[in-house]
Chains A and B, each alone.
Chain A
Amino acid sequence: MSARESAVTAPPVTATIMDAAASGDVLLEARGVTKRFGGLVAVRDVNLDIPKGGIVSIIGPNGAGKTTFFNVVAGIIDPSAGAVEFRGRKLIMRPRRTWIEPILWVAPSVIVVLIALALGVQNGGDEGLAITGLLALGLLITTFLLAIIRPPWYTQLLARMGILRSARPNDVVTAGIGRTFQNIRLFQNMSALENVLVGMHIHLRSNLVDHFASSRRQRREEEAAAKRARELLRLVGLRGIDDELAKNLPYGDQRRLELARALASDPVLLLLDEPTAGMNPAETSAMTALIGRLRKDLGLTILLIEHDMRVVMGISDHVLVLDHGERISEGTPEEVRRDPKVIEAYLGTSAS
């Protein structure tokens, strides 16, 4: 019932959102995103601006490239061309000159060995050789570990040398983008509460020493996290299932739990991949109402992939229509609904 209400109350909010967009308050900016799989172009040259606080939907027939675009934005696959900027920071791009990186790993060790040889270490006996070897090995391991852990300054250093790499999925989450999956991907054998706690992972600060010492700091942090996780479960409408294994929850609750888990990272932008897939009409309208509430209460910006037209038309400010990987239409739900190209893509060309 409340779904209808929120759908009705949506327009005024929309107006302010579009104002924000007009004033240039863009949260996410995708430019020329292209993804090729061999000869197949899954996504071709897609541009998209998501204004802060807006709900933007991507629709299109099956195989239109919606999920591929999503996965590019989420850092799961690298784009073949184009880039995605989030809050003014270039997050996703086509990897460039990545072959240089391995050279950088070995360079310090090689330099050390060369210097040592130049100083005549080979004439100085075993000890000098051993020290040189250990030093070179240590440097190699250090650079190698740096490359694996990839701290921000390392990425920046690489970027300055023209070596570009997309953010990894977990970096995308840290930047403030949360997501759900089309086919629910919960941690099946963990409890609902633990699922949400994993979602909070990036906000927990305890380190190995805390783990070993079971420090008070860690205990306090974990208690606070569990409290927050319970709140999130209530927020998405899950009660009394905190200790149930995720796989034992009914389908609709699993979708809600996945949403709670995505919210746990405190995202600014939420990517929802068909949040109402497989739901019956009642569940669908409840989910739609929930999404509307997330925007209103938490001030979230939402990017939505959806098949269900009622959901899209009810809550979106802006709709992007893809077909065969290309943008065929874009605009307000009303504009898109009337666009002959959209009708054609969904229903086929009319015989006349």
Chain B
Amino acid sequence: MTAANTKLSRTPAGGPGLRGRLSDLSSRHRSIAVIVGMSLVALVLPLIVLLPPFSSFSGQTVWMDGFTIAGIYVLLALGLNVVVGLAGLLDLGYAAFFAIGAYTYALAASPFTGWDLPFWPMLLVGAVVAAIFGILLGAPTLRLRGDYLAIVTLGFGEIVPIVILNSSKYTDGPNGIGGISPPTLLDTRFPTTGNPWPFYLTMLVLIILSMIFIYRLQDSRLGRAWMAIREDELAAAANGVNTVVTKLLAFAIGASTAGLAGVFLASKLQTVTPNLFRFDVSFTVLAMVVLGGMGNVWGVAVGAFIIFMIQSVFLKQLNIFFNNVQVPILSDIDFLQYQFLLYGIALVAMMLLRPEGLFPSRRRRRELHTEEDEVFAEHGDAMGAAPE
């Protein structure tokens, strides 16, 4: 953490008070805050689901499996946050890297190829392979910005699942690859049913590590360079930032996080098919980042978790609830079908009411809310010295 950043984050929080002091402490010892915070969350979640409203939906094991899958989306959102939130590169094809990570492990540890490479090193390999593809995608798009970049990444996101679908010889096409080995630790295989803890804890560790690394990147000169590019690419270049390398690193690091998530997904589900990685995954993750609060690591993590839980649990429960109660019109609606309609409404409402996201970074909150307070204060000055 840099002196500059500590100072920046401290000032607006201002004042003493417990909250100010807590946020002070957490920004100074960020890694510890992440470890403690995530561990607490991970400890509380399995306990909460034992309580009445939640325990009636399903058992603890099912809940924890759900949380583990939600963790995959948290990882994805953390990675996409680097690309979109920090570097300002709109990536609509993020699921491609997820797919690449998943298929890397699927090919490395399944009866389809006959190989059985261990899970732990493959986590790293999956991340590296995805990062390479991130660079390969990034390289031709370096000159593109905004809309054009979005379209190219969208294309890439479509191409990857289609290539996987059509190259049956290497991927078994639409059938996908099954029988993927679960991770092994100390000569014991992770149980795929029953005890959800091994996968759950592995996911916890992955998220903690990713959060710490991303926080550190954000506070480094690289993070500053990303922000500079997001603000003004030409000015960044004219101040010595190598925009080519910096943007490629953003793509690579975002992609490698998705690669990690992919490897984990493959080992968790034991099977991968191309339609797990369609556009709706890219879109969902982007919505998570935007709704959670672009640029804020905790924000996107929490945002991703909440949105995943709404999508996979809440909507289903809503269906069951209305069916049971027999509310006239509502019981005929399948809320899961309207998932994207609900996203759309949520996004529109969010952009109108709280454009900085649910849990904005301090910086972005300042970006979007200083204007009302401060522009007027300095209006006289600005008008007096207005250029041209």
A binds B: yes
Most chain A CB neighbours (cut-off 10 Å) among B139, B228, B241, B245: B228
A47 beta carbon closer than 8 Å to chain B: no
B238 beta carbon closer than 8 Å to chain A: yes
> How many angstroms from the CA of A189 to the CA of B362 in the assembled complex?
11
Beta-carbon nearest neighbor of A189 in chain B = B367
* Cβ–Cβ contact A201 & B241, under 8 A: yes
Q: Which of B324-372 contact A (CB under 8 A)?
A: 363-364, 366-367, 370
* Cβ–Cβ contact B2 & A250, under 8 A: no
B243 beta carbon closer than 8 Å to chain A: yes
B276 beta carbon closer than 8 Å to chain A: no
> How many angstroms from the CA of A211 to the CA of B213 in the assembled complex?
8
* Cβ–Cβ contact B216 & A222, under 8 A: no
| 1/0 contact string of A115-137 vs chain B (CB within 8 Å) | 00000000000000000000000
B240 beta carbon closer than 8 Å to chain A: yes
| 1/0 contact string of A159-183 vs chain B (CB within 8 Å) | 0000000001110011000110101
Q: Which of B5-62 contact A (CB under 8 A)?
A: 7-8, 11, 31
Choose, from B265-273, B300-308, B380-388, the stretch at the interface: B380-388
B221 beta carbon closer than 8 Å to chain A: yes
Residues of B within 8 A of A323 (CB): none
Instruction: Tell whether A173 pairs with B385 under 8 Å between CB atoms, given A141-B132, A226-B2.
Output: no
Instruction: Tell whether A201 pairs with B239 under 8 Å between CB atoms, given A187-B228, A278-B387.
Output: yes
A319 CB, min distance to chain B CBs, angstroms: 23
* Cβ–Cβ contact B220 & A251, under 8 A: no
A111 beta carbon closer than 8 Å to chain B: no
* Cβ–Cβ contact B232 & A144, under 8 A: no
* Cβ–Cβ contact B225 & A198, under 8 A: yes
Instruction: Tell whether A245 pairs with B240 under 8 Å between CB atoms, given A145-B135, A211-B217.
Output: no
> How many angstroms from the CA of A261 to the CA of B386 in the assembled complex?
21
Q: Contact partner of B4 among A148, A173, A186, A226, CB < 8 A?
A: A226
Instruction: Tell whether A194 pairs with B370 under 8 Å between CB atoms, given A211-B216, A243-B11, A252-B385.
Output: no
Q: Which of A172-209 contact B (CB under 8 A)?
A: 173-174, 178-179, 181, 183-191, 193-194, 197-199, 201-202, 204, 206, 208
* Cβ–Cβ contact B238 & A76, under 8 A: yes
Instruction: Tell whether A198 pairs with B228 under 8 Å between CB atoms, given A170-B240, A248-B374, A250-B378.
Output: yes
Residues of B within 8 A of A280 (CB): 384-385
Beta-carbon nearest neighbor of B375 in chain A = A248
Beta-carbon nearest neighbor of A141 in chain B = B132
Query: How many residues of chain A are within 8 Å of chain B by beta carbon?
Result: 62
* Cβ–Cβ contact B245 & A174, under 8 A: no
> How many angstroms from the CA of A181 to the CA of B4 in the assembled complex?
25
Residues of B within 8 A of A344 (CB): none
Instruction: Tell whether A251 pairs with B387 under 8 Å between CB atoms, given A179-B238, A206-B220.
Output: yes
Residues of A within 8 A of B387 (CB): 183-184, 251, 277-278
A311 CB, min distance to chain B CBs, angstroms: 15
* Cβ–Cβ contact B237 & A190, under 8 A: no
Beta-carbon nearest neighbor of B380 in chain A = A250
* Cβ–Cβ contact B8 & A243, under 8 A: yes
> How many angstroms from the CA of A229 to the CA of B8 in the assembled complex?
14
Most chain A CB neighbours (cut-off 10 Å) among B213, B224, B386: B224
B364 CB, min distance to chain A CBs, angstroms: 8
Beta-carbon nearest neighbor of A137 in chain B = B132
B227 beta carbon closer than 8 Å to chain A: yes
Instruction: Tell whether A193 pairs with B4 under 8 Å between CB atoms, given A251-B385, A251-B387.
Output: yes
* Cβ–Cβ contact B4 & A185, under 8 A: no
B278 CB, min distance to chain A CBs, angstroms: 27
A80 beta carbon closer than 8 Å to chain B: no
Residues of A within 8 A of B237 (CB): 76, 168-170
B147 beta carbon closer than 8 Å to chain A: no
* Cβ–Cβ contact A170 & B385, under 8 A: no
* Cβ–Cβ contact A214 & B1, under 8 A: yes
Q: Contact partner of A202 among B31, B222, B224, B240, CB < 8 A?
A: B240
Residues of A within 8 A of B201 (CB): none
B244 beta carbon closer than 8 Å to chain A: yes
* Cβ–Cβ contact A190 & B4, under 8 A: no
* Cβ–Cβ contact B4 & A222, under 8 A: yes
* Cβ–Cβ contact B136 & A141, under 8 A: yes
Q: Which of A63-84 contact B (CB under 8 A)?
A: 74, 76
Beyond A76-B237, A194-B227, A206-B221, 13 additional pairs, beta carbon < 8 A: A148-B135, A150-B244, A170-B241, A173-B240, A201-B221, A201-B224, A212-B216, A219-B1, A222-B221, A245-B367, A250-B378, A264-B239, A280-B384
Mark A residues whose CB is within 8 Å of B. Answer: 74, 76, 141, 144-145, 148-150, 168-170, 173-174, 178-179, 181, 183-191, 193-194, 197-199, 201-202, 204, 206, 208, 210-212, 214, 218-219, 222-223, 225-226, 229, 242-243, 245, 248, 250-252, 261-262, 264-265, 277-280, 283
Show 13 A/B contacts (Cβ-Cβ < 8 Å), sorted by A.
A185-B232, A188-B231, A194-B4, A201-B221, A210-B220, A211-B220, A211-B221, A226-B4, A248-B370, A248-B378, A252-B385, A261-B239, A264-B239
